[in-house]
Structures are given as C-alpha cells and as structure tokens.
Amino acid sequence: MKGWTGKILRVDLSNRIVKAEDLDFNTARQFLGGHGVATKILMDEMDPKIDPLSAENKLIFSIGP
C-alpha cells in the first residue's frame, strides 16, 4: 500500500495534535473498509455512556468499499 492508503489520521482538536497511524491490513479486511473500521474504532475506544456533545466523543469520517 502506498500513499495515504492504509493510514488513519487522528486529529485532536482540543490539544491541536495530528498524527498518522498505519491501519492493520487484517483489520481493514475483516471489517470491510472505512465504515467497518470506523465502527470498530467506536466500539473499541468509546464508552457508550458518553454525552454525544462532549469533548470526549469522537467524530469519524470514513469511506466504504
């Protein structure tokens, strides 16, 4: 994979931090592209009781296959 393919860009607006992470190919394959990976990130990293409008909530942009 070259370029931006296989990358996740994380942007922390509160602390003004931007970092790129490599996306595990097996995770992308298992969860069928951007929408599945976004769902996995939400399930793994979010507490379901967080207020939707709080700063701790995540906003994810992704594209599907």
Cα 6–chain centre separation:
12
**What is the number of residues in the chain?**
65
The residue assigned the tokens 């207020």 is 51
Among residues 34, 33, 59, 35, the alpha carbon closest in space to that of 46 is found at 59
Determine the pLDDT at residue 2: 52
What are the domain boundaries of the chain? 7-45
Determine the pLDDT at residue 4: 59
Q: Both tokens of residue 52?
A: 């939707």
pLDDT along the chain (65 residues), means of 10: 72 92 86 85 91 89 78
Q: CA-to-CA distance for 21 and 31, rounded, in angstroms?
A: 17
